[in-house]
Structure 1
């Protein structure tokens, strides 16, 4: 049987929205005259309730707290444009008093954010005309986020992470069968660790995807047959790569008793590059991700931020600096710039003990790989780094901050092909390269012989010519017996006098269907 109803049992609403006639004020209080349809009305206050709920009292109370309703709309906006006003949105706690909700039950949100038309200013102070969700609006607008706490009708005494708890991925084969060109595939497998406790996982258990997707260098083909050189994630790679189903956002509110006061943000990254080159005329946009949202704790502040960029002085015929900026000298470097330069507030996060429930910390994204320290033999290494986003808040991370891998895997053409501890392997095209582990033993299959790229016959008749041929062994990294290249006779048409009809050991032969001679 369900418990008490949520929300108010009675309320007082506004009425008579028509504007008053002189000498009365047109609209009462903070209400303003707006157009609704084709008539004038006075704007309304917050007269809305959160939507009704059919939730019965749950059999358990999550450690993250009770269940909130959706936010109410907040009623009509006092103003119709310019992002000049705010309205109050409310929500109610749907669970009984034995399972109280955490967080505020009301919030102020900007409303009427559309751009105003002349003679009004486009936007109120603090906002400027931009595009939000493909519509002209006044921004930037805050990112209104709330803790993730959905009602789960199958709730039991066992608290489950929303996406389950996965093991780390393992790969088979352990190393890629080739190091470039998208020539190899690897299958990743993982196990749902929480399933034994009655908590299923969301997402695939296996993924098969190309490996070694970087572009190969001459004399190898750039990419394996079926792939072409392109740019993927701002790096040269061989594609197209298969589209993988996006992983569900990791959400685990089990055991969460408190939240950081402002959440835990990831680092800022550039979302839109600078759109100009000088004069502080450009704008760049950066973004960040609320990492603590994965355990039900929202963040305070904006997820995106735009700042002026390209502060160097423009050359004639452009004005030195755009309006609002002046040519200024930097005494230290003895150079000019268009100032003032944007300022970045100091990063002083509030210390907290409200860390992630797994106590493994929250990481920022990996940086790009560094340049390889060697060009061949698998002698080189390259590294990438990541920083612990939650550490400045008082929540240290578990696992490595630096990752290293071997590189420069093309076999050396002078001296020893591979560095000590590396193993020589052969690609689909006969190119040799070096691997960290013993090459996999697997039978390959030859393709048909084809003319080598750019090869032409060096004669015109009698099977007297020679042409360079090649064939490929697939899968790359597996073994085929025989040669990858050969020289084969070509130009089998019969030669005319005074040349002999055919070069030895070939003889003039007739093709009955076409009634023509050839050297065979």
Structure 2
């Protein structure tokens, strides 16, 4: 049983070893579920309940479902943006060897489907001294030495502190419900075994490590002592734990071995084969704002083995001799360059000199020892090709070719789906019960990113069949212009309209209202021609003897002309003569009677 949280996390990194298939799911109880005929989803692992000891299926972190029928793919993926800066340690883990004071972490986030707003939050994990004290995590924000950038997708440490190193670590995590902007207080947080074995795609770990301090070279049987205060200042409350790691961060072999606790140094009196390698000193102490004792510093030591010689007794020419691959007097042994002296590598293989020996390296695309065989690697079967998932891998001698499948275009490494029509949608329903209506169906041109166009229409129409004519109600046409008045003055005018816009059909209603409208013409007086009145009597003759002038008049007022009527024609004044010449007056015996002679006068 692992004794410390450190052991747990080292075990986590162990299970993600570079020598294993890093994409595999870590499922230690898989056989238990198989024997019980419990078939887990491909994105689930077999788990054992701590209380009932029953076995069940549990979806991987980030996936949701019952673990058997469904494990819904998370909508997010967190990946490291600069993979070249990371050592190949494991899934969702980036191992950074610190050589400079500034360290920058970068991640990228991708999503699929319609998802709510999200944010990337950064945390620092503090490994606690187990089992007495807990581990903690603290959410990070902008400080004097921590700077966020690119909307939370990058974090820069402007200066490195002793407690930034492994087994303390950092991680970036996608949160659907982000916390407040200001840094939160540290909270108790322990990484579970389930999280260690199967890291979530919603989280990416960043682990800092320093170059090991090299000690030696030593031979088996030699004594070695490491005194930590020579390399690191300790406080009275410091607690030191020494562990043996097969290699840095325990990514190979078994879990690390705790050598000794609560001592400032260790001494190995007689080195054995298993004592060579990496020894890490972990310093736990109390830290501000953290109630427990956590990791505050560490140092990694490399106890190097001298593989050039073998000595029995004192190291002198009489007791030591050089191992194969080295030459010298036994005390001083130097590497032999076997490649320069000639080797038994195959002609097509490359000779590579290494310390104490050499390697025969087959050409790229071949595998074997390089001495006897160099066999073509079938990258397609082995899965080591870089063909697109929509491409077919074709193995060739020493290499392979990628060919995009039907329906895709590209070089095989990058394949883009061709733009094609989706199947036609079902015809729309005829909602009309009479008259005329079209049915429609549509289709969509997929994959516009290919830059191709689909040939043909995106919509199709056809009429609904066997629909009876719909009743059409009649509607009046526009009114005609008004007719002429029946009289030049006063009178009546009319206008008409017809029920033909449209006319009623199919049982429709006729037009309602008047077909003809009458109206009085504009009211104005008619012209009246003038008429003469009767003549007045002649004026009396002013003389009794002799000739004189008399007159009479008439008026054009019976009736008078009105409203543009004609005036009277003729004269309204006449003159006449009356009396007799004076020569005849003496002959008149009777009273005088005038004789009037008419003469119109203008």
TM-score, with length taken from structure 1: 0.19
User: Which has more helix, going by share of residues?
Assistant: 2
Structure having the higher Rg: 2
Query: What TM-score does the superposition give when structure 2 sets the normalisation length?
Result: 0.17
